[in-house]
Amino acid sequence: MNQKINRMNLHERVQIEKYLDKGLSASSIAILLGRHKSTISREIQNTHYNSYSAFHSHLRSIKLCSAKNYGRSKILSNKILLKYVLSKLRKRWSPEQISLSLKKTFPNQKSMQVSHETIYFYVYLHSKKSLKEELIKNLRQKRKTRGSRHTKAVRDVKISDRTTIDERPEEVLGREIPGHWEGDLIVGKEHKSAIGTLVERTTRTVILVHLKNKEAETVRKAFEEEFKKLPKLMKKSLTYDNGTEMAQHKLFTKNTKVKVYFTHPYSPWERPTNENTNGLLRDYFPKGTDLSVHSKAYLKRVQKELNERPRKVLDVRSPTEVFNEMILAKINL
């Protein structure tokens, strides 16, 4: 019996394009996608363009001669389906999230179910020009690495008494036990403004933290405020990168009982959940803009929107659903 080949799909290729735009290496991308390094390297090297293009690479891989008709009849001929797909795309849902949601919402209606690849091709080939530009921008999440990782790493020496990720409990890696968070900042224009980001590893719940500045005391107090709102079940650890804004980590741990673990320099894959979330957030908070103009209320609206998106990894449930289920399960024990 022939072994089934696990071919790379369009969603993975879009992720590769996104990570390349962020400056990640083939090795790092391979880890994030769960692929062999040689597979990613070969995929990147096979491009016929000056830069990697997920769409064109996928067209070439499947030898799609009749690309103009791909996805046309299914979506354009069904007004209800078209309206559903467009409404979710405008909310920045990924094609995969939309496809899974359709199957869950309309389990017995084949006319209301399409693959994520059909949605990708609809966006690239059949949407109107203005809409196409908006949707492709959302899908690709094209941006470079946030700020300067090198600058952050140089400042690491200013953080004393750090506990590295090497000493973090093994239960964190498995994601089965909730309450372990990943944290970071997304930085604004000229590094003068920032928004704190916290992501719970098991439920993928996002918390956006409004910050007046990036000073260590400000960040500590703001993070403490958010953690104190959480039930005890959801307060176990925080994995952070090497930014000096977490210099007061010992006081943070004293006040919240949440232990902080620091990643190794230049290792964004050690906080994969947070890195992915920060990428999604750049759709709302573009790089090079002043983040101080956004109110706390607006941050919480974005937080709510992200937490209500269904996730494949959560069996097409939203982070909010899973978070609440875990809290209720604990109460009912």
Q: What is the pTM of this model?
A: 0.63
Say whether both 155 and 265 belong to one domain: yes
CA gap 112, 100 in Å, rounded? 11
Q: Is residue 312 part of a domain?
A: yes
Q: Is residue 125 part of a domain?
A: yes
Say whether both 236 and 133 belong to one domain: no
Say whether both 279 and 313 belong to one domain: yes
Q: Is residue 1 part of a domain?
A: no
Q: What are phi and psi of 260, to 5 degrees?
A: -105, 130
Q: Is residue 171 part of a domain?
A: yes
CA gap 76, 221 in Å, rounded? 51
Q: Are 165 and 261 in contact (CB under 8 A)?
A: yes
Say whether both 216 and 178 belong to one domain: yes
CA gap 135, 55 in Å, rounded? 14
Q: Tell me the CA distances in angstroms from 128 to 53, 106, 133, 135, 306, one per residue in order.
A: 20, 27, 9, 10, 26
Exposed/middle/buried for 99, CB within 10 Å: 0-12, 13-18, 19+?
Answer: buried
Say whether both 178 and 310 belong to one domain: yes
Say whether both 129 and 195 belong to one domain: no
The structure tokens listed for 49 are: 């363009």
CATH number of the domain residue 274 falls in? 3.30.420.10
Q: Which domain range does residue 133 map to?
A: 67-140
| Beta-carbon-side half-sphere exposure of residue 224 (alpha carbons within 13 Å) | 17
Say whether both 156 and 239 belong to one domain: yes
Q: What is the chain's pLDDT, residue by residue, as a tens digit (333 residues)?
A: 444 456 787 788 888 888 888 888 889 899 888 899 988 988 888 765 567 877 777 766 654 444 445 545 678 888 899 899 888 888 888 888 888 899 999 999 988 998 887 887 777 666 666 666 666 666 654 433 333 333 343 344 468 899 998 899 888 888 889 999 999 999 999 999 999 999 999 999 999 999 999 999 999 999 999 999 999 999 999 999 888 999 999 999 999 999 999 988 777 778 888 788 887 898 899 889 999 999 999 999 999 999 999 988 899 999 999 999 999 887 765
Q: Is residue 80 part of a domain?
A: yes
Say whether both 161 and 239 belong to one domain: yes
Number of folded domains that form the chain: 3
Residues 6+ apart with CB under 8 A from 301: none
Say whether both 315 and 226 belong to one domain: yes
Q: Is residue 4 part of a domain?
A: no
- Domain boundary among the residues 117, 140, 163 is at 140
Q: What are phi and psi of 209, to 5 degrees?
A: -115, 120
Q: Is residue 2 part of a domain?
A: no
Sheet holding 194-200, edge to edge: 206-210, 194-200, 180-187, 237-240, 259-262
CA gap 140, 136 in Å, rounded? 6
Q: Is residue 216 part of a domain?
A: yes
- Domain boundary among the residues 140, 157, 174 is at 140
The structure tokens listed for 219 are: 């960040």
